[in-house]
C-alpha cells in the first residue's frame, strides 16, 4: 500500500536543480597550512595569514605546478536535488567524493520530474566529440514538454498501481524514468571539486575545453559559487591556471 498522502502524489515538474552547502570546513588557510609544513613546519593561523600577497603567490604556485595534495585538507558537503540521470554522471567521480543518496527501496519515491525550460538548447548538431547544441523550434519545445509530462504521469501511475497491489518498492520502481528527481549528500574537497568542475562545466578560462551535459553543469555552477566564496584565493588560482585541477 502507498504510504504517502494522496495530495503529495500529484506529479510536479521542475526545470531547475537544488544545491545547498550544508556543512563545510574549507578556507584558503587550510591550503597554506598544509603546504608550509614542507618548509617551515607547524604555523599558527595568525602567522599563516600575516602576508596575504605571499599566501596568494604560494597558492598560485601550487596550482600552476600541480602540487595537488595541499588542496585536500578541507571538506564541503552539499545536499543536491537533481534528476537521476545527473546522479548517474555525477557518481562516476570516484576519487575524493563521498555519496549518500535517498533509497528507492526504503522509501516511496516522490513524483517530481525534470522538464527542461525554454532556455535549454534542444538540438545537437555535429558529430560526437565535435558538436554544438542549438535552440529547438517552438514545436520541438512543445513536444518535449508534452511527451515528457505524459510519460512521467503514466510511469508514476504504474508505480502507484504496483505499490497499491502490495508489490515491493524496490520492484515497482523499475518503471520510473531517469528524469525523476533524487537527492543526495555529496562531500568533496577543493581538489576533487576542481577536477569535477574542469570536466563538468564550460568556461572561457578553461585551457582544456569540456562538453558536459547542461543539467550536471547546472549543479556544478551552483557548487562553484559556494566554493568560490569559501576559498577565494584558491578559486582565483584555479581560474588563472586554466581550470585544470592540480
Ligand atoms: C563530457 C563527458 C562525457 C563523458 N562521456 C562518457 C561516456 O560516454 N561513457 C562513460 O562511461 N563515461 C563518460 N564520461 C565519464 C568519464 O569517463 C569519467 O568517468 C568521469 O568524467 C569521471 O572522471 P575521472 O575518472 O577523471 O574522475 P574520478 O573517478 O574522480 O578520478 C579522478 C582521477 O583519479 C585517477 N583515477 C581514478 N580511478 C582510476 C583508475 N581506476 N585507474 C587509474 N587512475 C584512476 C585519474 O587520474 C582520474 O582522472 C564522460 C565524462 C565527461 C566529462
Cα gap 147→80, rounded to integer Å: 26
* Ordered per-residue pLDDT tens for the chain, 246 residues: 556 666 667 899 999 999 999 999 999 999 999 998 777 766 667 776 778 898 999 999 999 999 999 999 999 999 999 999 999 999 999 999 999 999 999 999 999 999 999 999 999 998 877 788 999 999 999 999 999 999 999 999 999 999 999 999 999 999 999 999 999 999 999 999 999 999 999 999 999 999 999 999 999 999 999 999 999 999 999 999 999 999
211 Cα to the center of ligand 1, angstroms: 14
Cα gap 187→191, rounded to integer Å: 12
199 Cα to the center of ligand 1, angstroms: 9
* CATH number of this structure's domain 6-116+179-240: 3.30.1360.170
For a substitution probing ligand 1, which of 89, 90, 94, 194 has the most ligand atoms within 8 Å of its CB? Answer: 94
Q: Structure pTM?
A: 0.94
Neighbouring C-beta atoms of residue 238, cutoff 10 Å = 28
Q: Where do the structural domains in the chain lie, given as residue ranges? A: 6-116+179-240
Cα gap 158→173, rounded to integer Å: 9
Cβ burial of 118 (10 Å; 0-12, 13-18, 19+) is: exposed
pLDDT of residue 127: 83
Instruction: Report the atom number in ligand 1 closest to the C-alpha of 212.
Output: 1
Amino acid at each position: 500500500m502507498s504510504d504517502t498522502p494522496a495530495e503529495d502524489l500529484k506529479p510536479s515538474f521542475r526545470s531547475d536543480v537544488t544545491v545547498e552547502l550544508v556543512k563545510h570546513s574549507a578556507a584558503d588557510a587550510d591550503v597554506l597550512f598544509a603546504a608550509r609544513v614542507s618548509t617551515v613546519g607547524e604555523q599558527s593561523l595568525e602567522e599563516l595569514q600575516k602576508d596575504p600577497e605571499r599566501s596568494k603567490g604560494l597558492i598560485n604556485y601550487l596550482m600552476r605546478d600541480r602540487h595537488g595534495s595541499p588542496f585536500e585538507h578541507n571538506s564541503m558537503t552539499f545536499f543536491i536535488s537533481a534528476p537521476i540521470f545527473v546522479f548517474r554522471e555525477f557518481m562516476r567521480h570516484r576519487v575524493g567524493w563521498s555519496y549518500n543518496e535517498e533509497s528507492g527501496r526504503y522509501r516511496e519515491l516522490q513524483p517530481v520530474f525534470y522538464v527542461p525550460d525554454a532556455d535549454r538548447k534542444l538540438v545537437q548538431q555535429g558529430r560526437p566529440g565535435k558538436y554544438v547544441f542549438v535552440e529547438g523550434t517552438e514545436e520541438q519545445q512543445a513536444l518535449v514538454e508534452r511527451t515528457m509530462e505524459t510519460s512521467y504521469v503514466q510511469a508514476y501511475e504504474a508505480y502507484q498501481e504496483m505499490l497499491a497491489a502490495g508489490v515491493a518498492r524496490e520492484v515497482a520502481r523499475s518503471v520510473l524514468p531517469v528524469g525523476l528527481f533524487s537527492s543526495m549528500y555529496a562531500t568533496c574537497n577543493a581538489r576533487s571539486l576542481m577536477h569535477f568542475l574542469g570536466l563538468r562545466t564550460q568556461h572561457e578560462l578553461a585551457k582544456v575545453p569540456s562538453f558536459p551535459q547542461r543539467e550536471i553543469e547546472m549543479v556544478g555552477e551552483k557548487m562553484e559559487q559556494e566554493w568560490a566564496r569559501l576559498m577565494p584565493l584558491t578559486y582565483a588560482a584555479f581560474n588563472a591556471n586554466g581550470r585544470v585541477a592540480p
